[in-house]
Amino acid sequence: MTTRRQNVLSVAVFLLVLLGILLLSPKNRERVQNGFLSLMSPFLKKGSEWDRSVGKLRHQLKTLQQLEVENDALQVENDKLKALNQALQGIEAENLRLKAAFGYKDQTPFSLVPARIIGRSESNWWSSVKIDRGTADGVQKDMSALTPDGLVGKVIAASDHISTILLISDENCGVAAMLRNPSGQLQHGIIRVVRGDRLSNMQQPRMTMSFLPKHLKVAPGWKIFTSGLGRVFPENVIVGEVVEIKPRELETEVSIQPAVNLAALTDVFIVTGLKGAAEK
Amino acid sequence: MIYYLSLAVAMFLAVITQHFTGQVPWLGGHVYLLPVVFFFAAAALPLPSVFVFAVLAGLMWDSITVHADESGKFEAAFGWSIALYGALGAVMNGLRAQYLRGRWELHCLLTGLLTATIVLIEFLVITFRREPFAFDWPHDVWQRIGGSGLAAALIAIPAFSVFTWLGRRLGVIKFDTMRPD
């Protein structure tokens, strides 16, 4: 067979295979995706351990100049801390006791599954992370992810031992949310969708809340909380804080800084339900 | 066969590694390793093999990036990357004769250009799908497209050297330096 014939035949076979894959049913498509996630799982877990070790090592390696600057800063800090130490001794003991008594997991009304981030966003246009928990741990698609600081995102794919979380800074992750002024007063009747920006990423997360009434006297510092109306995210979890007001002709738009530092995210909790819901 | 398997494993490891490289701040874009390995295969191997690798690369990429939005609709058809990799791989394969003469400088440059094309097409797809379609793209978009392309072109130099060396050691790649231009 000539090379030309082989090439024509290969193009034909390629197009047939492509068509077959494009026509996969949603169930089979999910099966392929979960299969690939499962295949990646051990490698991502091992890679994540190495990544943490390298990160620690890199953090420890500093130039002489950096060490000198750091030393000066530490000396000033040390003097300050000595003064503070006396005053804080009593508070520290109380703080430790409270921390032990009311660990976040116990304090929250949600049933939580703790998870570790084992992979970060792999492309330019999608903001997601991989966690080391999957369906075997009770994690399901559309469950929400949070930290003690606030909302992180939602599960968009879950295989046996690994899941993908779409971050709140992604344009595709809309969160039904409400506003609260600095004195904690809820703006009743105003529930809007908080959405990430198309160019948002983990390093520079950008989110907006649009279509706010023109008369609303919103100001930087107002907090955004989940409304629970979307039925994906639980109610009253902090999403972020208003940082900029953009008045439009007919409405007001606000820019939001996420409450969670997405760039430094290492661990999350997956909300699997409400405590006591199973007994009910 | 071992060589082909090695390239498939390299593609898989490239996808894993991409989860840790993230966005390089001074470059402005993510480091895309999967296209580098794929475009090497496209430069060095016959067209039928290129299509096999295009199916592999596209499946791997769509498995981690194509997901349903809030309404349950998929942003892009699962498998669309296979078509993209297949088409761009065929372009790279057009320069195979030159690669077989032992010259692959142009292929490294083209790897950067085609990787930037992949990032650009990805952005076009999500922009069309999500709306509104904006014609005035901010500097950030171009920086990410160009940054990813530049990173791929730079990584292609050592990657092509290693894969070429391995291919020649295993007798899969045979340079014909006597072939006329």
Q: Is B162 helix (H, G, I), strand (E, B) or coil?
A: helix
Instruction: Report the alpha-carbon distance of residue A211 to residue A86 in Å, rounded.
Output: 51
The label of the residue with tokens 């760039």 reads A263
ipTM: 0.83
Instruction: Report the alpha-carbon distance of residue A254 to residue A243 in Å, rounded.
Output: 7
Which amino acid type is present at position B76?
A
Q: What are the structure tokens assigned to A266, written together?
A: 């290492």
Helix (H) or strand (E) holding B146: helix B139-169
More confident residue, A155 or B180: A155
Q: So what's the pLDDT on residue B8? A: 94
Task: Choose, out of B18, B34, B63, the residue to mutate when testing the contact with A (most A CBs < 10 Å).
Answer: B63
Q: So what's the pLDDT on residue A280? A: 43
Helix (H) or strand (E) holding A61: none
Q: So what's the pLDDT on residue A189? A: 63
B152-162 tens-digit pLDDT: 999 999 999 99
Helix (H) or strand (E) holding B172: none
| β-pair partners for A209 | A194, A254
* Of A18, A122, A125, Cβ closest to residue B79: A18
Return all residues near A122 (Cβ < 8 A) that are at least 6 apart: B15, B18, B19, B30, B64, B65
Task: Choose, out of A54, A123, A170, the residue to mutate when testing the contact with B (most B CBs < 10 Å).
Answer: A123
Q: Are the C-beta atoms of residues B115 and B32 closer than 8 Å to each other? A: yes
Tell me if B23 and A203 make a contact (CB, 8 A cut-off).
yes
Instruction: Report the alpha-carbon distance of residue A93 to residue A110 in Å, rounded.
Output: 28
Tell me if A22 and B67 make a contact (CB, 8 A cut-off).
no
Query: Which residue is closest to B128 within chain A, CA to CA?
Result: A198
Return all residues near A29 (Cβ < 8 A) that are at least 6 apart: B78
- Helical axes B2-21 vs B47-65, angle rounded to 10°: 30
Q: So what's the pLDDT on residue B136? A: 66
pTM: 0.78
Instruction: Report the alpha-carbon distance of residue A107 to residue A101 in Å, rounded.
Output: 9
pLDDT along chain A (280 residues), means of 10: 82 93 86 86 84 75 75 82 65 60 64 86 82 90 87 89 89 84 70 76 76 81 83 84 85 87 85 64
Q: Counting Cβ atoms within 10 Å, is residue B9 exposed (0-12), middle (13-18) or buried (19+)?
A: exposed
* Of A9, A13, A18, Cβ closest to residue B83: A18
B131-149 tens-digit pLDDT: 666 666 778 888 889 999 9
| Chain A hits for B79, Cβ within 8 Å | 18, 21-22, 24
Q: So what's the pLDDT on residue B89? A: 94
Return all residues near A225 (Cβ < 8 A) that are at least 6 apart: A177, A178, A179, A180, A235, A236, A237, A238, A239
| Chain A hits for B29, Cβ within 8 Å | 124
Phi-psi region of A184 (alpha: psi -120 to 50; beta: other; left: phi over 0): left
Phi-psi region of A189 (alpha: psi -120 to 50; beta: other; left: phi over 0): left
